[in-house]
């Protein structure tokens, strides 16, 4: 909507979508913005410049604020720590989101979230306290993933990958929907529209969370401006007015990442069954059959893990590490995967340079870029090696079952 303007042509914030909620002696003005709109930037400037507010809150967490404020943030990343701490999937999802935002910026000529960045900057200039009220993006991804189940997670990753590698420009309908929606939701593509679990985690839960954070962070302020995406406006206003649960309790509840229906337990059970079949083969068929079954297990699991690493164009030492680690699944600690060993070798042998980190946002937008950039290729190495290893366990199990029960 064009909105009203001041005599000098600037957009007034009152012409933009907004809601006012009074609670516990504090008046919260919720300004609904589009994350890809210069009009929203002007509305933020007008609102903060009016002097009517003594505190500002924005729909950001610390990680996203750093990402839009510090162009070199990725260059400061410790890739080895990311791999060791099991944060590869989250890092890959963040890369996909970053590439999607870069694609928007190139097409529309404005960085997504520019109005949020401007709100933080102006509040700092005026000495106003700033509250980051959104939930950590890592927690949101984690909760979404764990509520979806295995096949839902595969669809989720597929949606992220499709958005990541898409080269076509966004259509007018997509852009218009984005203006009224949410950046995280839109980055998941069509899957977000058909997944109630994803909507609950990415939109509805964050409405509750931001309402709780607003109440917690008000402090001594009596007039608080909250700059949030227009898609959150109605839900946030409702929760801010009606929620009776203490805000700290709500925040703790929504920051908890419940154990997911992990494939790890399924793979553990399958591995134990395979070991039992090998033992039964020794008992029934003697040492010759037992050795043959062990050989099948080693060759198949090592081969598929190595193929996964090869598909990522891993260094030969990384391929060897994957092949050695895969057959050791029965004695490896939980969470220690062939992909972990292979990726760590890759990160050490082909250490990413500063330039690789700087180019990461651009390179992550194409499949060729993922292979060209040493950072993203290490991430690919981790994921493809683990996929190959998992396939190898299934194939080996079927082969062994066929020999034992034939």
**Residue where the block lists tokens 């890809």:** 36
Q: Is position 7 within any domain?
A: no
Residues 186 and 57 in one domain: yes
Residues 190 and 223 in one domain: yes
Mean local confidence (pLDDT), 221-245: 91
pLDDT at 237: 94
pLDDT at 280: 83
pLDDT at 166: 56
Mean local confidence (pLDDT), 23-31: 94
Q: How confident is the model at residue 39 (pLDDT cuts 50, 70, 90)?
A: confident
Residues across the chain: 406
pLDDT tens for 178-195 read 555 555 555 555 545 556
Q: Is position 96 within any domain?
A: yes
Between 175 and 240, the higher pLDDT residue: 240
Q: Is position 191 within any domain?
A: yes
Domain range for 150 is 13-255
Residues 90 and 216 in one domain: yes
- Cα separation, 376 vs 91, in Å, equals 10
**Residue where the block lists tokens 């509250």:** 131
Closest alpha carbon to 19 in 243, 228, 251, 247: 228
- pLDDT of 16 above 70: yes
Between 154 and 9, the higher pLDDT residue: 154
Contact yes or no for 139/149 (Cβ under 8 A)? no
Contact yes or no for 133/217 (Cβ under 8 A)? yes
Mean local confidence (pLDDT), 58-63: 89
- Domain closes at, from 227, 255, 283: 255
Q: Is position 2 within any domain?
A: no
Contact yes or no for 29/54 (Cβ under 8 A)? no
Residues 205 and 281 in one domain: no
Closest alpha carbon to 357 in 347, 349, 342: 347
- pLDDT of 168 above 90: no
pLDDT at 354: 73
Residues 236 and 278 in one domain: no
Q: How many domains does the chain have?
A: 2
Q: What is the 3-state secondary structure (H, E, C) of 334-380?
A: CCCCHHHHHHHHHHHHCCCCHHHHHCHHHHCCCHHHHHHCHHHHHHH
Mean local confidence (pLDDT), 8-15: 69
Q: How confident is the model at residue 37 (pLDDT cuts 50, 70, 90)?
A: confident
Which residues 6+ apart lie within 8 Å of 217 measured at CB? 55, 57, 131, 133
Q: How confident is the model at residue 150 (pLDDT cuts 50, 70, 90)?
A: low
Residues 241 and 337 in one domain: no
Distances (CA, A) of 15 to 27, 108, 180: 19, 23, 15
Q: How confident is the model at residue 336 (pLDDT cuts 50, 70, 90)?
A: confident
Q: What percent of the chain stands above pLDDT 90?
A: 32
Q: Is position 371 within any domain?
A: yes
Residues 190 and 315 in one domain: no
Average pLDDT score over the chain: 80
Residues 200 and 62 in one domain: yes
Least trusted range by pLDDT, from 28-42, 112-126, 136-150, 322-336 = 136-150
pLDDT at 182: 59
Residues 155 and 274 in one domain: no
Q: Extract long-range pairs of 251-259: CB within 8 Å, 24+ residues apart.
A: 251/209, 251/212, 251/213, 251/216, 254/135, 254/143, 254/205, 254/208, 254/209, 254/212, 255/135, 255/136, 255/139, 257/139, 257/142, 257/143, 257/146, 258/143, 258/146, 258/147, 259/146
Least trusted range by pLDDT, from 8-12, 94-98, 143-147, 366-370 = 8-12
Most confident of 147-151, 303-307, 350-354: 303-307
Closest alpha carbon to 344 in 360, 320, 363: 320
SS3 label, residue 57: strand
Beta bridge partners of 5: 11
pLDDT at 167: 53
Mean local confidence (pLDDT), 21-29: 94
Mean local confidence (pLDDT), 137-144: 78
- pLDDT of 9 above 50: no
Residues 338 and 243 in one domain: no
Residues 143 and 172 in one domain: yes
Most confident of 146-150, 198-202, 221-225: 221-225
Element (H or E) spanning 55, and its range?
A: strand 55-58
Least trusted range by pLDDT, from 4-13, 117-126, 392-401 = 4-13
Other C-beta atoms lying within 10 Å of the C-beta of residue 127: 7
Q: Is position 4 within any domain?
A: no
- Domain closes at, from 232, 255, 278: 255
Between 44 and 84, the higher pLDDT residue: 44
Q: Is position 3 within any domain?
A: no
Predicted TM-score of the model (pTM) = 0.70
Q: Is position 99 within any domain?
A: yes
- Domain closes at, from 239, 255, 271: 255
Residues 330 and 270 in one domain: yes
């Amino acid at each position: 909507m064009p909105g009203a303007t001041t005599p000098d042509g600037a957009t007034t914030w009152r012409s933009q979508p907004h809601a006012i909620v009074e609670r516990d002696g504090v008046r919260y003005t919720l300004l609904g913005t589009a994350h890809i709109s210069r009009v929203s930037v002007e509305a933020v400037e007008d609102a903060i410049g009016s002097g009517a507010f003594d505190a500002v809150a924005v729909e950001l967490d610390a990680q996203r604020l750093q990402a839009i404020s510090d162009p070199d943030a990725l260059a400061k990343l410790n890739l080895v720590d990311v791999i060791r701490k099991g944060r590869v999937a989250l890092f890959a999802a963040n890369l996909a989101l970053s590439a999607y935002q870069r694609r928007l910026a190139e097409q529309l000529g404005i960085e997504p979230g520019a109005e949020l960045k401007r709100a933080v900057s102006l509040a700092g200039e005026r000495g106003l306290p700033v509250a980051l009220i959104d939930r950590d993006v890592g927690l949101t991804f984690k909760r979404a993933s764990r509520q979806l189940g295995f096949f839902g997670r595969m669809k989720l990753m597929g949606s992220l990958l499709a958005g990541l590698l898409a080269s076509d420009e966004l259509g007018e309908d997509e852009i218009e929907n984005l203006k009224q929606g949410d950046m995280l939701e839109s980055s998941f593509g069509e899957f977000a529209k058909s997944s109630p679990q994803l909507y609950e985690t990415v939109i509805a839960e964050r409405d509750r969370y931001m309402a709780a954070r607003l109440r917690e962070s008000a402090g001594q302020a009596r007039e608080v401006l909250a700059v949030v995406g227009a898609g959150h406006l109605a839900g946030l206003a409702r929760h801010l007015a009606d929620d009776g649960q203490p805000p700290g309790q709500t925040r703790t509840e929504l920051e908890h990442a419940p154990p997911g229906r992990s494939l790890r337990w399924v793979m553990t059970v399958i591995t134990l069954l395979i070991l039992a079949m090998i033992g039964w083969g020794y008992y029934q068929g003697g040492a010759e059959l037992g050795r043959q079954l062990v050989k099948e297990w080693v060759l198949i699991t090592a081969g598929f893990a190595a193929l996964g690493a090869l598909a990522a164009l891993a260094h030969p030492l990384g391929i060897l590490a994957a092949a050695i680690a895969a057959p050791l699944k029965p004695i490896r600690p939980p969470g220690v995967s062939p992909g972990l060993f292979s990726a760590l070798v890759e990160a050490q042998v082909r250490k990413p340079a500063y330039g690789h980190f700087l180019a990461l946002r651009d390179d992550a937008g194409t499949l060729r870029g993922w292979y060209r950039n040493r950072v993203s290729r290490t991430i690919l190495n981790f994921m493809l090696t683990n996929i190959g290893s998992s396939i190898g366990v299934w194939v080996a199990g079927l082969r062994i079952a066929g020999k034992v029960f034939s």
